[in-house]
Amino acid sequence: MNKVPFVSKDQLEDICQQYPTPFHLYDEKGIRQTARDLYKAFSWNKGFKEYFAVKATPNPTILKILHEEGCGTDCSSLTELMMSEKCGITGEEIMFSSNDTPANEFKKAKELGAIINLDDITHIDFLEKEAGIPETICCRYNPGGKFELGTDIMDNPGDAKYGMTPSQIKEAYVRLKELGAKKFGIHAFLASNTVSNEYYPELARILFKLVVEIKEETGIELSFINLSGGVGIPYTPDKEPNNIFVIGEGVHKAFDEILVPAGLGNIKIFTELGRFMLAPNGCLVTRVIHEKHIHKEYIGVDACAANLMRPAIYGAYHHITVMGKENEPCDHIYDVTGSLCENSDKFAIDRKLPKIDIGDLLVIHDTGAHGFSMGYNYNGRLRSSEILLKEDGTTKMIRRAETPEDYFRTLDGFWD
């Protein structure tokens, strides 16, 4: 099975005439359609809102496109808050979900009117002292143990550093109300990159039942429930992608069964689907510059782990298309490598691909989220440009490639 790039070989060759490889390429049409499908899937909830995780793709042009489609931002740092503000995204269109948070970041979030999502019960006193308690506040929940779907263990929240225990979160709401908070929300992230239509509905059931408990035990009625991220994508071509309409209806069913009978039918549902929204709508484009024949067959490209580090640090699979050879047999086995002085700098290991020649263009799929954003400068390698493929087929550079001058600029006086 193969993944089909959202751009043709001829298109890509034309783009490469203008922008040298490597670069990350984003599909505006796909981004907008994904956002519209998400909103349609949750249209049954009047207050539904997607808070796009800025950390997934921290580019102002992407944030503005998503904002035009109704999305806010999920921020976790000062710079992400600043980027949102610069894009015209402020107030309760920002969800500030941070941990081990410095005082100046709480202050900036409060200044912008963002919804602050507290990671720990001890942060209540810290926030009160440093910035004051806002009228709207959210708390992050961690049930502990293992999260399972059927017989499959999906993740291990008990080992995660995030969130409050069940007893702590109830105590937190009581304390926050005493300090003047008037609107409350809950947030939880129990599993990463699930390729299952059952994850969100199951998470929703857990949170919905807890929200009913909170009302019964404390008298506090929550205003919104943030299901966070975790709805993933199939990086391998053999898996079926999540169906956001099935997922939305599954959450709807749980909502009607648990919250509506408890008199909580007006609660808003929020999501933070960075990977789902952007990963399939971006790719890393790189050109083959070397081949090596030793104990294994190696293909060397002009990108490296500085451009996409997920395969190097996680062993993550990213599908590769050799442009123009999509219909040729995958009868060669290669390691596809970058130029870092690290043996883990490989985009693929023992991958079956068509015969590859120097000069071929490779599309590395599903890099639209956690691709460019995780880049770094090891070996003095420079981060690539980011290019937007617009709906009309034209392109726009939305971030230029780094230069040596950029790399040296923070070395005071060195480059002067």
Which residues are tagged catalytic? 341
Crossing angle of helices 123-130 and 166-178, rounded to 10° = 30
Please name which of 64, 78, 65 lies closest in space to residue 112, comparing C-alpha atoms. Answer: 78
Q: For tokens 């009913």, what's the residue?
A: 212
Please list, in sequence order, all residues whose beta carbon lies within 8 angstroms of the beta carbon of residue 235, skipping any fewer than 6 positions away: 316, 317, 318, 319, 365, 366
Q: Give Rg (Cα) of the chain.
A: 23
Q: For tokens 């999501």, what's the residue?
A: 271
Please name which of 40, 44, 26 lies closest in space to residue 69, comparing C-alpha atoms. Answer: 40
Please name which of 242, 241, 243, 267 lies closest in space to residue 254, comparing C-alpha atoms. Answer: 267
Q: What are the phi and psi torsion angles at 217 (to 5°)?
A: -90, -30
Q: Is the peptide bond before 102 cis (omega within 30 degrees of 0)?
A: no
